[in-house]
Structure 1
């Protein structure tokens, strides 16, 4: 979803396009790579330009954006919710258990599942699903235990 589409969706839904809301969207856009971020990470970016914006304001705006399906709220099993812009295509993530990096995988394994059959058999109405894969990223899988994420104190012959 492009920035102009996001703004138009907000307007059509009756929301004002405030500078703070635009800055929250800019923080989500980041460097063009769609990396899920916590509200706290987004807040740190927004206060660089708007130092008086509260974390609560960021949370309220993220909820509005989630309700409008502009943003997806992800629970990556680390106790923090993360947020990312919806670009229209449903996807899942690879999540590093050490550094918390999340990388999108561009397919959904549930597309091959007969959802209607499950709903009928289990008498359960499915509204959404989550499928995330947990492991170690390229950097962290070669780190000795006890080292900080993203640092490596080994030799250069590692991958």
Structure 2
């Protein structure tokens, strides 16, 4: 999914095109990973002073309902990214920058053997950690801070 596809989907489903909706979708297109409502509010505060969480969440809920966005939860906070329209896959998610990477393997193939009589209707598999760039930045940050060693 991308911004153009999302705007076309909104139009075909009879929803209004608004500048706020377009700007929210543009944030997702530029990010290439997960965003929280707080990050969206912060990014849009200059263009839309006083934009409320209600407005943001209403749009995020609509986008999720239309399968424009997908949602996950990280440390108790809902975060969103463009819905993947590719084949079935899962994600590695960077805890620092929110970028995702596709995992082609699906662990459900092995899990379904545990109880062949259990009918699976859906699943979600996500792996959390730090991407290479964030690891480097965190490492560089640690090296830049002086050691606080008592020299007496």
TM-score of the pair, normalised by structure 2: 0.75
Compare the two structures and name the one with the higher helix fraction: 2
Equivalent position of 1:126 in the other structure: 121
Which of 81, 84, 87 is matched with 2:81 structurally? 84
Equivalent position of 2:21 in the other structure: 21
Whether 2:64 is the aligned partner of 1:75: answer no
Q: 1:153 to 1:60 in 2, by over 3 A?
A: same
- 5+ residue gaps in structure 2? 145-152
RMSD: 3.0
Equivalent position of 1:64 in the other structure: 62
Whole-Å separation in 2 of the counterparts to 1:10 and 1:88:
16
- 5+ residue gaps in structure 1? 144-148
Higher relative contact order (CA 8 A, sep 6+): 2
Whether 2:94 is the aligned partner of 1:95: answer yes
Whether 2:38 is the aligned partner of 1:40: answer yes
- How many Å apart are 1:75 and its aligned residue? 1.6
TM-score of the pair, normalised by structure 1: 0.72
Aligned residues: 142
